[in-house]
A and B are shown apart, each in its own frame.
Chain A
């Protein structure tokens, strides 16, 4: 299957700082990538759909100015959590689609102190 790389796997930051998470499709081109958030013992929550060369589509209730998404190339999407606060601490997971199948990155655990 296709491989999606996500970096970093774990990040700890101070409240008020910004954190960037990268998602790369390693062996295929992905015009569309997805960003999810998952709190402990809860289901995946789709945050936004990242489209190469255009603006991301955010799900209802997700602040686009707080969660900045950039899909600059066919293999890279980035999620920047701006001015992070403790309530943003969560598990962030990206995915990319190849032939209608979503493949997930390993996830990034964000802890905001």
Chain B
């Protein structure tokens, strides 16, 4: 069973701090990795995607991928209360099927 694992949280950080969200995946054939943000009662929205090992930065967000360790992370710098949401990690397998993690709830305290 191909899986994407995330800590359910909640992860609580003070405003202005760095929030670090982590994800592991079981299928070594996974090629593409995604982070989605889902506010309560809303559908997921894409934040970032990453295909290659290393870091990818977009504004306050940095995605990190380590294929050897089968590990993906998302860093949110200068966290804001509006970042409070559930963050979903997803991996596309070698068969081009996307597997979603259960999500990590983030709470940013003002």
> Interface residues, chain B, CB within 8 Å of chain A?
32, 34, 36, 41-46, 49, 88, 90, 92, 96, 98, 100-103
Contacts and interface: CB of A to CB of B under 8 A. Distances in A.
26 contacts: A1-B46, A6-B43, A43-B88, A43-B100, A43-B101, A43-B102, A44-B44, A44-B88, A44-B100, A93-B43, A97-B98, A100-B92, A100-B96, A101-B32, A101-B49, A102-B34, A102-B46, A102-B98, A103-B46, A104-B36, A104-B44, A104-B45, A105-B43, A106-B42, A106-B43, A107-B43
Contacts of B98: 97, 102
* B contact face: mostly helix, strand, loop, or mixed: strand
In the complex, which range does the number of interface residues on chain A fall in?
Answer: 10 to 19
B93 to A, nearest CB: 11
